[in-house]
Structure 1
Amino acid sequence: MNIRTQKDAGTVWSLMGRGAVAAAALWLGLFGAPGVGLAQAGAGTGGGLVAGAASSGSAEGLPTADRSVLQWVERMHAAPCQRAYTGTFVVLSASGAMSTSRIWHACDERNRLERVESLNGTSRTVFRRNDEVRTFSPESRTVRTDRRDTGTTFPRVAVVSGTAISQHYAATRLGQDRVAGYLADVVWFKPQDALRFGYRLWSERDTGLVIKLQTVTADGKVLENAAFSELDLRATVQPEQISRLMDTTAGFKEVSAPATRTSAEAEGWVLRQPVPGFVPVSCHQRSMAAADGAGQVLQCLYSDGLASVSLFLEPFDATRHPAQPQATSMGATHLLAQRLNADTWVTAVGEVPLQTLKVFATQFQRVR
């Protein structure tokens, strides 16, 4: 990847808002190496994976072994508002890159709030209040405000309307394990095709919160490990405290990337053939700052309920965009950038195999 494309990729990474994960999506990590038995699956987890008998304890009253894919996802989606919590979250990619963050999370009747502070690399603090995201950068004394429909910097499962997760993943409970002092159900989400990765997750027994996750290729390679190294599910975190800190911008220069909600069709774009399992979630026309060099960028997000793909379309600029397609990865997230037609440059990003991004890029076309 050349220097110009690196700059463009940096703009896209910032739009994706990924500081620690783990979860684009729908930031959910799971495990799905085909044919892996329980004993094999337990190897290398850092704890003893115990195959326990089916037990109750779900909100639905079902034994854990009998939960369907959708029931597991729904339980994990509701988990973050079961209790306030704080914790230290560590993401380790196969390349050896590591990201560590401190998280404070709380909910009230109307809002889901979190504060995420980076503990290594560039100093920054990210606040989220529902779909509003505010990033404080102490070094530049700037605060950036965005609105995002999905994505977060800690493991959270989102509910995506119109998806059919059970058609594209099979869920198997592998047993129990302990993470950060908490007992968790270990669940294997196995993909049913080559368009998505497998996932393995650790769901805390009482709340359903995802406290550890892995993203794995079809041949069993772990692309990313993410887990709480320390977690307090009895923390006294008040939503109003997080909200007040989020709104305290004195001493920071406020910047934003104005975004207008739209649709791919309204902007003259369609997928010639739907990518199996993926449905449109949102689409925004964004005005980027002059320093980003992109001008107007159309961002369209697609999801299968676990994995997600974002497509960024902008006018082709020979001074910034190379002639050949460019591909790179960051942990489990892959990026493909290429010329789409004579006047358009597309960047596809997602926690999916590179081949899936190629399918999206080749199927996207202008109709007017």
Structure 2
Amino acid sequence: MTRLFPLVLLLVAGVVYADSNWLSRASKAVRTTDYRGTLVYLRDGKMDTLRVVHRYREGSERERLISLTGEPREIIRHNGEVNCILPEKQVVLVAKHAMQSLLSNVADMSAETLQDNYTVRDLGERRLADRQCRAIAIEPRDEYRYGYRLLIDAKTDLPLKLDLLQGDEVLEQLMFTDIDFAADIADSELQPTFDTEGFRWVRHQPMHSAKPGDNDDDAELPPAWRIDDLPPGFSLAESGVRQVDNNLMARQMLFTDGVATVSAFIAPLAERKAFSGETTMGAVNAFGREVDGFQITVVGEVPHITAEMIGNNIRRDTGAAASE
């Protein structure tokens, strides 16, 4: 559930420089519009219903999502910090998303680069949740990425529906069933419903970013890793290390084509069983292989051919130290 609106933000902000005034305005609206609404999220034949409250005030963005189906869950977001409350487990998961730094790389990409990989089309007027919308299609030019279809509210420019597509097949769907564009949202509406006193707080370790090509001399990692070949249009946006547990560091590499993102994780195999080959969960594809005692795992909302190509082309850069 934590990635629902980050997905919309990443998609819309990633194509802000594409040749479409609708997408440019939607990019701003996702961050700055105040609203309350009910969302339906469909994937793998399952449906989640969520209640969302969003507010933007004086440059600060706050959001609260409550799961109305399945296990109780609540997410409180303030700018880049996200608290996921799991009351049945009495746990609060805390993370600081690296999405902002990744988006800074995406936003620097030119319209020409995006247009090499996608076609943006205006599909005309549609209606959703009793509101007039504009339908926008973002269609891939090849097999290495998915397509997207948005319904953007004509009055506020907020996306009210998002389809993730592979050809004509809808892999995931996110849409409002009702929405209220509130004149004022009180602080109390953005506070947790559950009393978290006595809960266990688990803090997600941030990635320590390094510029592509930097040499990180971590005891648990080889000097460097490189990517020999990437799917067309993709580039390395970030590379860094993340502490997995007290004795283990893993490298994370983030790749993007300006819309889609893919993560590669590299960690010592130790005593764990290696993951080899591919697996799929809805629109998410993962590919794994073992290299010199290290597990490489590539994960992203991209076709399996993309995850596999990235995973097969990550290599230990044994000549990095000698060349410096």
TM-score under structure 2 normalisation?
A: 0.82
Q: 1:78 aligns to what SS in structure 2?
A: helix
* CA distance, structure 2, for counterparts of residue 108 and residue 21 of structure 1: 18
Q: Quick one: which amino acid aligns to residue 251 of structure 1?
A: G
Evaluate the alpha carbon distance shift between residue 24 and residue 229 of structure 1 in structure 2; reply closer, same or farther with a 3 A threshold: closer
Aligned to 2:221: none
2:294 to 344, 349, 364: 344
2:206 to 233, 245, 259: 259
1:167 aligns with 2:119: no
Q: Spell out the pairing of 1:207-356 with structure 2 (5 A cutoff).
A: 207-218=156-167, 220-234=168-182, 236-238=184-186, 240-241=187-188, 245=192, 249-263=196-210, 265-266=213-214, 267=216, 268-289=224-245, 295-322=248-275, 324-330=276-282, 332-339=283-290, 341-356=291-306
Instruction: Judging by fraction of residues, say which structure has more strand.
Output: 2
Aligned to 1:14: none
Contact in 1 for aligned 2:35/2:180 (Cα 8 Å) = yes
Contact in 2 for aligned 1:212/1:228 (Cα 8 Å) = yes
Contact in 2 for aligned 1:333/1:351 (Cα 8 Å) = yes
Unaligned 5+ segments in structure 1 are 1-16, 29-66, 152-156
Q: How many residues align?
A: 300
Contact in 2 for aligned 1:83/1:234 (Cα 8 Å) = no
Evaluate the alpha carbon distance shift between residue 25 and residue 208 of structure 1 in structure 2; reply closer, same or farther with a 3 A threshold: closer
Q: Quick one: which amino acid aligns to residue 171 of structure 2?
A: L
How much has 1:247 moved relative to structure 2?
A: 12
Aligned to 2:81: 132
Q: Spell out the pairing of 1:1-368 with structure 2 (5 A cutoff).
A: 18=2, 20=4, 23=7, 26=10, 68-69=18-19, 71-93=21-43, 95-150=44-99, 160-163=106-109, 164-218=113-167, 220-234=168-182, 236-238=184-186, 240-241=187-188, 245=192, 249-263=196-210, 265-266=213-214, 267=216, 268-289=224-245, 295-322=248-275, 324-330=276-282, 332-339=283-290, 341-368=291-318
How much has 1:78 moved relative to structure 2?
A: 0.3
Contact in 2 for aligned 1:20/1:101 (Cα 8 Å) = no
Higher relative contact order, structure no. (Cα contacts within 8 Å, ≥ 6 residues apart): 1
Q: 1:23 aligns to what SS in structure 2?
A: helix
Evaluate the alpha carbon distance shift between residue 363 and residue 18 of structure 1 in structure 2; reply closer, same or farther with a 3 A threshold: farther
1:273-331: CA deviation from partner (whole Å, max 9, x where unpaired): 343322334444222357xxx94232222222221111122112453324x3231222x
* CA distance, structure 2, for counterparts of residue 260 and residue 22 of structure 1: 18
* CA distance, structure 2, for counterparts of residue 348 and residue 246 of structure 1: 36
RMSD: 2.9
1:75-117: CA deviation from partner (whole Å, max 9, x where unpaired): 2210124421111111112x31222211111111231111111
Contact in 2 for aligned 1:134/1:246 (Cα 8 Å) = no
Q: 2:10 aligns to what SS in structure 1?
A: coil
Evaluate the alpha carbon distance shift between residue 315 and residue 159 of structure 1 in structure 2; reply closer, same or farther with a 3 A threshold: closer
Structure 1, 202-211 or 261-270: larger mean CA deviation: 261-270
Aligned to 2:321: none
1:189-222: CA deviation from partner (whole Å, max 9, x where unpaired): 111111111111111112221110111113x122
How much has 1:145 moved relative to structure 2?
A: 1.2
Evaluate the alpha carbon distance shift between residue 251 and residue 243 of structure 1 in structure 2; reply closer, same or farther with a 3 A threshold: farther
